[in-house]
Amino acid sequence: MSYGYTGNILHIDLSSRKHWIEHPFEIFYRTYWGGRALALYYMLNQMKPHTDPLSPDNLLIFAPSVITGAPAPAIPRYTVCAKSPLTGAQGEAEAGGWWGPELKKAGFDAIIIKGSSKTPVYLWIKDGQIEIKEATHLWGKDTGTTQKIIKKELKDDKVRVAQIGPAGENLVRFANIVNELKHFNGRNGLGAVMGSKKLKAIAVKGTKSIDLYNKEKINQVTKNITKRIMDNPLSRSLRELGTPAVVRSFYEAGCLPSYNWTTGNFKEGESLTAETYNKTILKGTKGCFACPIRCKRVVEVNEKDLKVDPSYGGPEYETIASLGSLCGISDLKYIAKANELCNKYTMDTISTGMVIAFAMQCYEGGLLTKEDTEGIELTFGNKEAMLKMIGKIAYREGLGDLLSQGSYLAAQKIGKGAETFIHQVKGQEIPMHDPRLKTGVGLQYALSDYGADHMKAAHDPFFKDKDSEGIKEMKGLGILEPISPTDIGEKKVALFKLLDIYWTVFDILGVCDFGYVPRSVGTMEELLKIIRSSSGWETTWFELMSLGERSINMARIFNHREGFSSKDDTLPEVFYYPFKGGPLDGKLAINKKDFQKALRLRYQLMGWDPDTGIPTPAKLIELGLHWLIDEVKS
Ligand code: SF4
């Protein structure tokens, strides 16, 4: 008897329109558990190196985990993986919502999609039955319209739909995938991979429940966590203010990314704070499957010339900064509109804001002209121009076509020094957290398999003193001593090695980063109880940390096969210089030599070659990855 997983992996070839179901043994599930680990197993085994990400040979994999769908707080997530058209590396993005649990209820642990359909299609999966349906009538439609039509066609309003909008169809390299209109597999352009396969959507419905080993125990743990959520100020703040809560501290400290990272000093920061947000645009909050935290924002604007539809949720912190201060814009209503447009078209808001801010700097510096922008005055602070550019990128019109390729390729095309205005790692635009104040986040930007990402570990301030949540709650991992957020010495490197692996376990298992340590919501022990009670496996954090490390090494080898090496583990140059303007003026540059020394130490701690960053055969043997040894020998 299996618990937590269905034992069914669905394979679909869209070129031949055939499907088959694989039934792996228990040992496979216990080795890979789901998410990125499971996906990487197939990517390494079934994809040839140097596959064009937008060709039929790229695999597009949807994978929840053995515990996704357990009726416990903050475990709703599933992963989508493919080779990324933005970075050319392993691509990955996790999303919450309801789609992952529903896929499992519909009878599958993962979907592996290859090939490409000649005409647009969508998949309809219900209680183990699979249908490939025509979607020509949906192609070109935005996400809200598509979802309505699919639910109507299938005569079921409770069907869960993961889909792409026009940006995915038009192969924008940072197009994303959305479920229920507001839960995103956000980064790495996986929506473009879906578009290249002419796959508009995957609708799922299951009427059976997931078999769990001990539901009673999960309920008990859930009760304790839910009570704590109601009493605890940190999780209350997450519900009341959401991720925009950080705007105030960043803007007051002078590190809110502004004007394409030329300063952290945004004078109009007050108009972007969570308090202003709640007063002006917030309509309510929403959550994900079985999660009582309900941190997701829902906004509405109802003005004569500007309307924002609440069906598309509301901007999170990353969006407020990337489409706000980074573009010199301080009007939350316009940022809410920009968020709605990105969600309708399925475009990652971080990359969208970053490419527009980059273009604004190019325009102000004379590298782009009014002729290039087709008459748009693309200056910092021009909120109408920002909205126009979003549409142009989604439909790849004019300058939008160039920007749809991401800032790295766009800068190469523009030339004339435009490369100095981009801020990316492995081709992916950096998120809205400044590593000069959180060096561990900088290490994670540099080392992330799929380009700069802020969700690769807890952030440094959680470990800043003995009363910080990370120090109080993560002793079970051996994290005992506080470290300054700006330190980049040996202890910081060792700390972030652990955090990287631990957060990777979250990604594999579909655990939301906001739900468990170090946020004073669920504890490590409680999460372990949920994992054991879902799967029936008497697992330990030792086994789970090995799982996390296994997947990091698999991703490293995938990227090595694609030609990535230690030279790609970089940090944007801007962070090697001090802040300009505001309270931090002239302070806090990261020392490049120290950073490179830290990277080298991290390779060694991971069991990788200190020069090349390639996993050693011994490390692969330790992690049960003997089957990859030939890859490192070659
Ligand atoms: S904490 Fe927020 S994002 Fe995470 S699962 Fe709960 S509602 Fe969803």
Q: What are the tens digits of pLDDT across the range 455-513?
A: 999 999 999 999 999 999 999 999 999 999 999 999 999 999 999 999 999 999 999 98
Distance between CA 438 and CA 461 in Å, rounded? Answer: 7
Mean pLDDT confidence for 203-219? 96
Domain CATH code at residue 17? 3.60.9.10
Contact predicate 34/68, CB 8 Å: yes
515 and 539 inside one domain: yes
Confirm whether 237 is domain-assigned: no
Q: Is residue 394 part of a domain?
A: yes
Considering only residues 568 and 231, tell me which one the structure prediction assigns the higher pLDDT. 568
Contacts of 155 (CB under 8 A, 6+ apart): none
Higher-pLDDT residue of 237, 64: 64
Determine if ligand 1 sits within 6 Å of the CB of residue 571.
no
Question: Would you say 590 and 576 are in contact if contact means Cβ atoms under 8 Å apart?
Answer: yes
Q: Is the peptide bond before 518 cis (omega within 30 degrees of 0)?
A: yes
- Cβ atoms 550, 615 nearer than 8 A: no
The residue whose CB lies within 8 Å of the most ligand 1 atoms, and thus the one to mutate among 185, 297, 514, is: 514
76 lines ligand 1 (CB under 6 A): yes
CATH code, 420:
1.10.569.10
What ligand 1 atom has the least distance to the C-alpha of 287? 7
Q: 246 alpha carbon to ligand 1 midpoint, in Å?
A: 17
How far is the centre of ligand 1, averaged over its atoms, from the C-alpha of 238 (Å)?
9
Give the closest residue (by CA) to ligand 1 atom 8.
Answer: 288
Question: Which of residues 399, 424, 449 is at a domain's end?
Answer: 424
Same domain, 418 and 471: no
Eight-class DSSP state of 614: P
pLDDT digits (tens, 9 = 90+) for 330-360: 999 999 999 999 999 999 999 999 999 999 9
Give the distance (Å) from ligand 1 centre to CA of residue 433. 20
Structure tokens that stand for 587 in this block: 């302070």
Residues 395 and 496 in one domain: no
* Ligand 1 neighbour 239 (Cβ under 6 A): no
Please tell me the predicted confidence (pLDDT) of residue 634.
63
Q: List, in order, residues 6 or more apart from 47 with CB less than 8 Å away.
A: 57, 58, 59, 83
96 CB within 6 A, ligand 1: yes
Residue 200 · residue 121 · CB < 8 Å: yes
> Residues 6 or more apart from 372 whose CB is under 8 A from it?
363, 398, 399
**What is the pTM for the complete model shown?**
0.97
Interval between CA 226 and ligand 1 midpoint (Å) = 13
Q: Strands of 281-403 (E only): list them.
A: 282-286, 296-299, 301-302, 307-308
Same domain, 516 and 564: yes
Q: How far is the CA of 294 from the centre of ligand 1 (A)?
A: 6
Answer yes or no: do 496 and 416 share one domain: no
Q: Is residue 47 domain-shared with residue 102, that is, in the same domain?
A: yes
Average pLDDT over residues 238-260: 95
**DSSP label at residue 477:** G
Residue 96 Cα to ligand 1 midpoint, Å, equals 7
CB of residue 255 inside a 6 A radius of ligand 1: no
State if residue 512 touches ligand 1 by the CB under 6 angstroms criterion.
yes
Q: Same domain, yes or no, for 370 and 473?
A: no
Q: Is residue 219 part of a domain?
A: no
The answer to whether residues 515 and 602 belong to one domain is yes
Same domain, 371 and 504: no
Residue 355, domain member (yes or no): yes
Answer yes or no: do 263 and 403 share one domain.
yes
End-to-end Cα, the chain, rounded Å = 41
Note whether 389 and 447 are same-domain residues.
no
Residue 287 Cβ < 6 Å to ligand 1: yes
Using one digit for the tens of pLDDT, what is the confidence trace for 82-118? 999 999 999 999 999 999 999 999 999 999 999 999 9
100 with 145, same domain: the answer is yes
Parallel/antiparallel/unpaired status of strands 78-83 and 18-22: unpaired
> Does some domain include residue 220?
no
Q: Sort residue 587 into left (φ over 0), alpha (ψ -120 to 50) or beta.
A: beta
Q: Is the CB of 89 under 6 A from ligand 1?
A: no
H-only helix segments in 67-210: 99-105, 143-153, 166-169, 190-196
Predicted confidence at residue 232, as pLDDT, reads 81
Q: Is the CB of 294 under 6 A from ligand 1?
A: yes
Q: Is residue 3 assigned to a domain?
A: no
Tell me the backbone φ, ψ of residue 280, rounded to 5 degrees. Answer: -105, -40
* Ligand 1 mutation target, pool 236, 293, 517, most atoms within 8 A of CB: 293
Among 424, 450, 484, the domain-final residue is: 424
CA of 511 to the centre of ligand 1 (A): 9
How many C-alpha atoms does 64 have within 13 Å on its Cβ side?
A: 29
Domain that holds residue 372: 243-424
Is 581 domain-assigned?
yes
CATH code, domain with 454:
1.10.599.10
Give yes or no for residue 387 CB within 6 A of ligand 1.
Answer: no
- Nearest ligand 1 atom to the CA of 97 is 8
Which pLDDT tens digit goes with each residue over 568-622? 999 999 999 999 999 999 999 999 999 999 999 999 999 999 999 999 999 999 9
* Listed residues 424, 459, 485: the one ending a domain: 424
Specify if 4 maps to a domain: no
281-337 pLDDT per residue, tens: 999 999 999 998 888 999 999 999 999 999 999 999 999 999 999 999 999 999 999
Half-sphere exposure for 140 (CA within 13 Å, toward CB): 3
Q: How many domains does the chain have?
A: 3
